[in-house]
Amino acid sequence: MMSNYLSSLTIICLLAFSSCEAQPTHQKKDKAPVGGNCETCELMFEGIPDKIRSSDTSAGWYENTQKLIVTGRVFQSDGKTPAPNILIYYWHTDAKGLYSSKPSSHSKAAQHGYLRGWVKSDSNGNYMIHTLRPAPYPKEDIPAHIHLLIKEPTIANPYYVDDLVFDEDPLLIKHLKKYPAEERGGNGILRVLLHGKVQVAEHDIILGLNIPNHPATKDLPKESGLSIGQDNLPLSLIMLMGPIREAGLVRFVNTDVIMASYFIPVINQIGHPLSSGSGFWNKVQSSIRIH
Ligand SMILES: [Fe+2]
């Protein structure tokens, strides 16, 4: 009898404690910043210009090293509605892999080095960044990367999305096996293409995707299969085929890559985001001409 009483008491206590504990945890969750903790995020606002355009050029673009253009679109959480007026802050290492400073660097943001800047997506969600190709940290096995922070007008705090990394970086695969990508805002792996001597990569950002506590996605049920912005093999091949077809290498591909014979008719039918018809290369070309 006594043991029954004690058991009941224990259960009541456990229930009481768990409900007491659940309440603050729940409240805490609601107050948690969108995207969780974000180290050095506050530096985004140091030296921020009054007027921010959809295209930015870092000091690195004018240096005698590998030039890089990163361009793409920002979409709402559905992955298809363009998101205008989204502030994107970027910073990255120099061609030696260092967050180095220049006399013109903003002193309070020295931690981010001098290769930093801001763009704001235009009415169609477009943005473009001209900079130099960063190098990996010296003597470390972390792939070269570009950090991105997002500040949405309706969300109080900025949050980070996946770092941009480069698909042909020899350090990448080993690093991804150890630290799988979170795919925050979409897949951060850039497919680097050459336009003349300039490296060009396209990167779209999907607001709220894999961003903890984001108002647009926090109540959505977990779904199985690929999410918007996630990569898959057939699409990777399709992405590759566009530039290959443009470069007139289709015959080479047909001989050497058996799967291409299946994909090329598909590509010809649906077109490719980087193909000449899409206007992508025209946009890049005119941007390089301006600079
Ligand atoms: Fe870094």
Work out how many domains the chain is built from and give that number: 2
CA of 213 to the centre of ligand 1 (A): 24
Task: Please state the pTM of the whole predicted model.
Answer: 0.73
Q: Are residues 109 and 240 in the same domain?
A: no
User: Which DSSP letter does residue 60 get?
Assistant: G
The predicted model gives 156-161 an average pLDDT of: 97
Determine the structural domain holding residue 236 and report its residue range. Answer: 232-291
Give the position of tokens 């999907």: 206
CA of 113 to the centre of ligand 1 (A): 10
Indicate whether 1 belongs to any domain. no
CA of 44 to the centre of ligand 1 (A): 14
CA of 102 to the centre of ligand 1 (A): 18
Query: Under DSSP, is residue 44 helix (H, G, I), strand (E, B) or coil?
Result: helix
> How far apart (Å, rounded) are the C-alpha atoms in residues 227 and 217?
12
> How far apart (Å, rounded) are the C-alpha atoms in residues 8 and 101?
66
CA of 142 to the centre of ligand 1 (A): 9
Q: Is there a contact between 166 and 172 (Cβ–Cβ < 8 Å)?
A: yes
CA of 120 to the centre of ligand 1 (A): 22
Token reading at 243: 């530039």
Q: What pLDDT score does 30 carry?
A: 55
CA of 128 to the centre of ligand 1 (A): 20
User: Which DSSP letter does residue 275 get?
Assistant: S
**Digit-coded pLDDT (tens) for 71-117:** 999 999 999 999 999 999 999 999 999 999 988 888 899 999 999 99
CA of 98 to the centre of ligand 1 (A): 9
Percent of the chain with pLDDT over 70: 68
- Greater confidence (61 vs 273) lies with 61
* Helix or strand holding residue 284 (H, E): helix 280-290
Q: Are residues 238 and 203 in the same domain?
A: no
**Digit-coded pLDDT (tens) for 250-286:** 333 333 333 333 333 333 333 344 444 456 667 777 7
Q: Are residues 54 and 194 in the same domain?
A: yes
Q: Are residues 86 and 141 in the same domain?
A: yes
Token reading at 222: 């977990």
CA of 147 to the centre of ligand 1 (A): 6
Q: Is there a contact between 227 and 78 (Cβ–Cβ < 8 Å)?
A: no
CA of 228 to the centre of ligand 1 (A): 26
DSSP string, 143-162: PP-EEEEEE-TTSSS-EEEE
Indicate whether 3 belongs to any domain. no
Q: Which residues contact 105 (CB under 8 A, 6 or more apart)?
A: 113, 114
